[in-house]
Each structure stands twice: as structure tokens, then as C-alpha cells.
């Protein structure tokens, strides 16, 4: 897992290499880490650092979508470059096949029968996918699987 010291070392490397994009992105991440540490009142652990990276990645994804809607490919490309850097620090994301398998296992484990019970499935899935999948994608996949599941007694 990544540490603050590793981030600072990577920032120094980016400065030496004169990699402006990486330097600016890492400075932004370090600032976000510092804000989170101040809010928490102490240093962040692995899950805290991962949460900061996920929050920053989500912000970049939203900026990319907004830039595309505004027909600003230059901004979208810039945000995409930052997203690639941020994602390099995140744990490997689950593939769609792995997500489907985990969702089906959670459905079987929870015994849910309809879309109204999505919370029970997400409660089981949460710890298994934390940091390795986008929550919105997982939620959509669970809804899709639940809508296919016939209700009990039919």
C-alpha cells in the first residue's frame, strides 16, 4: 500500500524529471491527504489514504464528464491524464466478471428476492469490494441482477 512518505518521494522524482502533470497531481493529492489528516486529527492509515485517492479519482471522473458535456476536449484530456496518475496508486479494480460473481454470491448469501432489498446485498458486498470497484457500477449491477431474480413463491 502507498504511504505519505512514498507520495513525497514520488513528488520529488517528478520534480527532478520535470514532469509537470505528475508534479501538480501529486501536490494536489498531498494537499488532500493533509486536509484529511487535519480533519481526522492524526495521520491516515492505509484505508484513509485509499479513501483520499478514491475521492480524488471520483472528482476527476466527474470533471471529465462535465468537460465532455461542455465540449471541452482539452480539459477532459487534462483531467484524464491526472486520473491515470491517481489510479496508478489505487488497488487493482475488479473486472466485470469478478463483480458479477461477487454480486451473485452476495445475492445467494443474503437470500434477497427483489429490488427493494438492495441494501441487504450492498451491506454484504461493501467490505468485499471496498476500494476495488465504483459504487455506482456495483449498485447498478445489483439492481440489474435483482430485477432478473424471480420473486419467491412464483
Residue 29 sits in a domain whose CATH number is 1.10.1510.10
Contact (Cβ atoms closer than 8 angstroms) between residue 29 and residue 55: no
Range 111-134 average pLDDT:
75
From residue 48, how far is each of 32, 51, 60, 90 by CA, in Å?
Answer: 11, 5, 19, 12
As a whole number of angstroms, the distance between CA 146 and CA 65 comes to: 28
Residues 66 and 118 in one domain: no
Residue 132 sits in a domain whose CATH number is 1.10.10.410
Tens-place pLDDT, residues 1-52: 678 889 999 999 999 999 999 999 999 999 999 999 999 998 888 878 888 9
The DSSP annotation for 43-60 comes to ---HHHHHHHHHHHHHHH
From residue 121, how far is each of 105, 110, 147 by CA, in Å?
Answer: 9, 6, 13
Residue among 42, 48, 62 nearest 29 (CA): 48
Residue among 121, 122, 127, 96 nearest 109 (CA): 121
Number of domains in the chain: 2
Residue with cell 471529465: 64
- Whole-prediction pTM: 0.67
Q: Tell me what pLDDT residue 154 has.
A: 42
Last residue of a domain, one of 87, 117, 138: 87
Helix, strand, coil percent values for the chain (each to nearest 5): 75, 0, 25
Residues 41 and 78 in one domain: yes
Q: Tell me what pLDDT residue 149 has.
A: 54
Residue 148 or residue 107, greater confidence: 107
Residues 71 and 118 in one domain: no
Find the length of the chain.
154
Amino acid at each position: 500500500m502507498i504511504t505519505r512518505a512514498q507520495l513525497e518521494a514520488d513528488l520529488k522524482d517528478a520534480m527532478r524529471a520535470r514532469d509537470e502533470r505528475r508534479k501538480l497531481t501529486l501536490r494536489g493529492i498531498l494537499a488532500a491527504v493533509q486536509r484529511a489528516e487535519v480533519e481526522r486529527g492524526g495521520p491516515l492509515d492505509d484505508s484513509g489514504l485509499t479513501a483520499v485517492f478514491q475521492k480524488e479519482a471520483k472528482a476527476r471522473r466527474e470533471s471529465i464528464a462535465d468537460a465532455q458535456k461542455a465540449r471541452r476536449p482539452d480539459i477532459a484530456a487534462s483531467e484524464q491524464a491526472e486520473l491515470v496518475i491517481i489510479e496508478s496508486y489505487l488497488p487493482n479494480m475488479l473486472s466485470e466478471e469478478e463483480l458479477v460473481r461477487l454480486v451473485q454470491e452476495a445475492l445467494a448469501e443474503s437470500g434477497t428476492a427483489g429490488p427493494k432489498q438492495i441494501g441487504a446485498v450492498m451491506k454484504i458486498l461493501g467490505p468485499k469490494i471496498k476500494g476495488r470497484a465504483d459504487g455506482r457500477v456495483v449498485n447498478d449491477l445489483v439492481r440489474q441482477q435483482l430485477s432478473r431474480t424471480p420473486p419467491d413463491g412464483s
